Amino acid sequence: MPLSKQLTMQDLLDQAKDEVKVIEPGETVEGEVVAITKNGIWLDLGVHGTGLVVGIEISDPTLRKDIKIGDKMSASVIEQEFDNGEVLLSLKKATKERSWDMLKRLKDTGETILVRPFEANKGGLMIEVDGVRGFLPVSQLTAEHYPRVTDKDEILIRLKQLIKKAMVIGVLDADKKENKVIFSEKIAKKDEIEKEIQKFKIGDKMKGRVTGIADFGVFLNIDGIEGMIHISEIAWDKVDDPSKYVKIGDIVNVVIIGIEGDRLSLSMKKLLDDPWVESVKQLKVGDSIKGEVTRFTPFGAFVKIQDNLEALVHISELSEDHVKDPSDIVAIGKKYDFRVLSIDIDNHRLALTLKENKAVKKEEKVTKEDSKPEVVAKEKKEKPKSVSASSTAKATDDKKTSDSAKASKDKQTDKSDSVKAKTDNKETKKKTEKKKEDDENK
């Protein structure tokens, strides 16, 4: 058996050099934190020796607070060998990798961080966390920062006011593969909002500051909780433009009418007397009232009774006959006499009928005609309450006999009249001939 060649130190060094890949500038290496000083962070790179992380990024107090001895870190190589033989490293890339890990952890645990937006657009705010950029949509802002305006230019103006402003946010989504991070201010204050909203209950009367006005209503901030007054809850009268009733910054009195998640539904008008209720208190079902037709719908016509009182006449209540179009019966702008059909105070519904009114008029006309003496006399005659079958049959036969006798009598009368007429004609003819004969003799 041949003897193996004895390896020298040089052979071992040459062999190690061949097995260990030489690191180049720009490459990423991983090491364990062995020391943290004000001049830098020292990493044990194993066979590559010791690395020193320098640069402005290590001055970040948040970073220094998060890094501990024994942590594994990734860094980019700046120089292979520095003054004392250490590898000079940059933590920028390492920070970015750690940032993704941190963002994922924040998403999973629900923890929050303090940030300052660096840019704004019409859709939201741009935020950077340790080299990783993310987006905070407008919809994820709390009531305090949400720009409650409809004009896009005005939205951008308000969002720009939040640039560099400290904000506590949470991570809604963190996808390293897609390089996408979505932040949320709402989620960061979710627990706080849920705790705060438990203090409210339906029926509570509150004061709130107007934070936004939209076509469909008004937004309020009540002790940090967002509330909305729908346009239908601003006033008892019809509201076309909410901005005519309130301005941004106004303090208004409201009552809570609903609680939906983290938002309050509010009403201004329910703190005021309802003029509709006051008006219908004067009416009762069956009353006759005069109203002006204001508009048509496929199912009927709306009628104005007073300035604050409108009623509906269903299409089936316009006439006894079938009605295809309300305009065939009534006209917009004209007044008619109606009768109250129903009153629903809870739902603010007043139903009228024109049909019953017509029926009443017809009935009154008949009654007037029937009031003649001879008709009244006939009505006063007592009618038998019940008639037997045999009596009915006898009455029928008597009636037939009577009708037959009457017809025969009438026929005889007509015949007699005819004979009389013929006799008269003969006598007249004789007199005429006699007179003619006398004239000739003379």
Tell me the per-residue pLDDT of 44-83, one tens digit each, with 9 for 90 and over.
988 888 888 877 667 766 666 778 899 887 787 888 777 6
* Torsional sign, CA 249, 250, 253, 256: negative
Share of the chain above pLDDT 90, in %: 31
CB 133 within 8 Å of CB 181: yes
Say yes or no to pLDDT of 200 above 80.
yes
Cα→Cα distances 147→140, 158, 247, Å: 11, 6, 14
The Cα–Cα gap between 218 and 233 comes to 10
Say yes or no to pLDDT of 27 above 60.
yes
Ordered by where they begin, the domains of the chain are: 22-90 (2.40.50.140), 99-188 (2.40.50.140), 200-271 (2.40.50.140), 275-362 (2.40.50.140)
pLDDT of residue 85: 74
Q: Which pairs from 421-428 meet CB under 8 Å and 24+ separation?
A: none
Q: Which ranges constitute the DSSP H helices of 55-165?
A: 61-66, 92-109, 152-160
Lowest-pLDDT range of 113-122, 140-149, 218-227:
140-149
CB 306 within 8 Å of CB 279: yes
Mean pLDDT of all residues in 297-311 = 89
pLDDT of residue 346: 81
Q: Identify which has the larger pLDDT, 150 or 241.
A: 241
Confidence of residue 347 (pLDDT cuts 50, 70, 90): confident
Q: Identify which has the larger pLDDT, 181 or 410.
A: 181
Confidence of residue 436 (pLDDT cuts 50, 70, 90): low
Mean pLDDT of all residues in 357-380 = 42
